[in-house]
Amino acid sequence: MKELRYLDEVSTLVLDREKCVGCGLCTEVCPQAVFEMRGNKAEIVDFNACMECGACVNNCPSEAISVSPGVG
């Protein structure tokens, strides 16, 4: 799926690393490999690959991620 690209710089994806508890679920559920774990926290490593599917938001236990599909 990594090869699928969408418009650059329009995703509404926001990650609050302060809230991240390091569970790693976002790295597992994201179909676009947007996140990686770094220093026990998630980090956005491929922002423009995000297609705003909401899977990370729905699985994050600490509400550290938000996305507003349809805004971009």
Task: Name the site residues for ligand SF4 (rule: CB under 6 A).
Answer: 13, 20-26, 29-32, 34, 42, 50-56, 59-62, 64-65, 67
Nearest distance from residue 27's CB to ligand SF4, in Å?
7
Please say which residue, 5 or 62, places its beta carbon nearer to ligand SF4.
62
User: With contact defined as beta carbons under 8 Å apart, do 18 and 7 qualify?
Assistant: no
Nearest distance from residue 7's CB to ligand SF4, in Å?
13
- Strands (DSSP E) found in the chain: 14-15, 35-38, 41-44, 65-66
